[in-house]
Structure 1
Amino acid sequence: MNRYPTVLTIAGSDSGGGAGIQADLKTIAALGAFGTSAITALTAQNTQGVRAIHPVPPAFLQEQLEAVFEDITIDAVKIGMVNTVEVAQIIAQVLDRFRPRFVVFDPVMVSTSGSKLIQDETVSVLWSELFPRVNLITPNLDEGEILIGGEIRTAEAMKAAALEMTERGCKAVLLKGGHLLGPTIYDVLAQREQEALILESDYIDSRNVHGTGCTLSSAIATFVAKGNSLAESIIFAKEYIAGAIRCGADVVTGHGPGPLNHSFSPLSMQVLS
């Protein structure tokens, strides 16, 4: 019998629909895979900011994860908002038990509106419990600075920071440079025992970039689930993000920075099934 390529997203819920679980499931569906989910936290937010965060009890998160893994074959996992030590530990235990073949972790720490989404003591646990267990992490510059404890403001500094993260235990790092101002966006891909690559793309003028990180990591997971290599999946995911930003640039959703257009007909993109 046929089976859908299947992705599990482990992340927070965004009541505004632009990021988190909502963005992940939209992305996975738009790219032709089947999305499953486990919610780590509920947020009350809209395009103008985060009003409140309600963590899901760790035991219930574990129930969600086990319910999915015990019944459905998971081809790739995306991890997003992990805001407490207990949540990080539960996810690590479940990854050890079920051993999915590919895991990408977008270490969400600060929202687009500037709200802090992680407890301070959780950062060290990410290094010890989660980073060694995943295939790729995708921090943005703000998150990268938190992780290495230093400033990252140039492409060369990004390269050095990404390499430092691999030396500290990450298998692969895609450090995203969208927060640097200029006509060209620089992302850095670093993998253990390999030379770091600087990936360039054109800057797209749009205020509607809420949920970009969630969307990118979900797209990478989806392309891997469909049979692409890590490098191919990153390239295809970046193409998808560019199209989603362009097609959502002139759309008004709420009174603040809006989301991408997740459903801009990306299925014509080159993907492997």
Structure 2
Amino acid sequence: MRVLLVIPARHGARRYPGKPLVALTGPGGRRASLIEHCWHAARAVPGIARIVIATDDARIEAHAEGFGAEVVMTSADCANGTERCAEALARLGGGYDLVVNLQGDAPLTPPWFVTALIDALSAHPAAEVATPVLRCDAVALADLRGDRQAGRVGATTAVFGAEGTALYFSREVLPWQDPGRPAAAPVFHHVGVYAYRPSALAAYALWPQGPLERAEGLEQLRFMERGHRVLCTEVEARGVRFWEVNNPEDVARIEEICAAGRDAASLPPEA
């Protein structure tokens, strides 16, 4: 199976302009731009035939080529990363069985999150799109709620049925839970990575945005508004913490997570 991995990146993000070029100390103590960290995360995924960064900005293009990445220039009219992936695939001429969208703001994406999506689409021929979800622990849930209480547009939550079919994605913390009662259902953090069948990606680029996508600012809702199945694949943290850079405040959060991981790795084994 030939898999194309695309890292969409734009400079003019409304909430955080210039985000792909922001420097941070990430995994392994490496000081680099956000987009370079994401590229290294992509290179750690086994079995990927080709990795490209898709952008419409010459500054990102020059920077990415400087650290050795292949770049595909796309239109400034792309409304989101999925549209940018669709254009990148078209410019490359196709020839791939699956396309993976690894967001350019998720440097902590472990390789098994991506391989889980590839395996999920292989096991479910009727599914056209797959995306990972991570069961929230107390820390992650507090971070989600903290962003909402502070008025920040932060991470996304996912609600899905017994067979993994997505029911909804939201910037709010869903499902709602009565704070005075024990949790009746877990909250799942939606990890912004997608695997698409090329036919679904090509169709997506032809559809206009729907009201739910516009309201939430979540690209995957376009599939759902058109009646196409999105498969939520639960992944395991395996002892690592995951977060994306949604706001400037998240840079320090990512650095803290990476520093804690390095500190834990440096501890001597227990006797």
Q: Is TM-score (shorter-chain normalized) higher than 0.5?
A: no
Larger radius of gyration: 2
Considering Cα pairs closer than 8 Å and 6+ residues apart, tell me whether 1 or 2 has the greater RCO: 2
- TM-score, normalised via structure 1 length: 0.29
